[in-house]
């Protein structure tokens, strides 16, 4: 059974710091991995999607890496800003579920960036 774990559960950093959020999964037979952002009382926004054949994806100050063999992904946020404060969720799509939106989520890392 696929399990997705995110560490740490919460993180507080001063503005400007670079930081890394971690995600691990137990079954390497994934179709892809996504990172989402969730703001309080709101829905999820997709940040980055990494296909199983890829090693990383970048968007602006965000960089996500994927190491399937070790079952790990990291989300790197450069030069953090108070507006980055949110909960970050990692989710995998299993190979068996094909190219669908059936995802298994981690419990998230709640990030607070202090001005």
Partner 1 sequence: NAGVMQNPRHLVRRRGQEARLRCSPMKGHSHVYWYRQLPEEGLKFMVYLQKENIIDESGMPKERFSAEFPKEGPSILRIQQVVRGDSAAYFCASSPSLGPGANVLTFGAGSRLTVL
Q: Is 62 in the site for partner 1 (CB under 8 A)?
A: no
Cβ of residue 106: shortest distance to partner 1, in angstroms?
A: 6
The rounded distance, in Å, linking the Cα atoms of 72 and 66 is 6
Cβ of residue 46: shortest distance to partner 1, in angstroms?
A: 6
As given in the structure block, the two tokens for residue 78 are 């450069």
Q: With CA atoms as reference, report the closest residue to 62 among 90, 35, 89, 39.
A: 35
61 Cβ contact list (under 8 Å, min separation 6) = 77, 78, 79
Interface region with partner 1, contact rule CB under 8 A, candidates 10-18, 61-69, 74-82, 96-104? 96-104
Contact 18, 79 (CB under 8 A): yes
- Count Cβ neighbours within 10 Å for each residue of 57-68 and write b for 16 or more, e otherwise: beeeebbbbbeb
Q: Of 28 and 110, which has the nearer Cβ to partner 1?
A: 110
Mask: binding to partner 1, 22-61, rule CB under 8 A, as x and -? ---------xx---x----xxxxxx--x------------
Among 13, 54, 105, 110, binds partner 1 (CB under 8 A): 105
Footprint of partner 1 (CB under 8 A): 4, 31-32, 36, 41-46, 49, 89, 91, 93, 97, 99-108
């Amino acid at each position: 059974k696929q399990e997705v774990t995110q560490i740490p559960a919460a993180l507080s950093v001063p503005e400007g710091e670079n930081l890394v959020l971690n995600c691990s999964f137990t079954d390497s037979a994934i179709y892809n991995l996504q990172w989402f952002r969730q703001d309080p009382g709101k829905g999820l926004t997709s940040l980055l999607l990494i296909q199983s054949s890829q090693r990383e994806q970048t968007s602006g100050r965000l960089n996500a890496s994927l190491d399937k063999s070790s079952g790990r992904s990291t989300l790197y946020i450069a030069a953090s800003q108070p507006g980055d404060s949110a909960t970050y969720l990692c989710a995998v799509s299993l190979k068996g579920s094909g190219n669908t939106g059936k995802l298994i989520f981690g419990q998230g890392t709640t990030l607070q960036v202090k001005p």
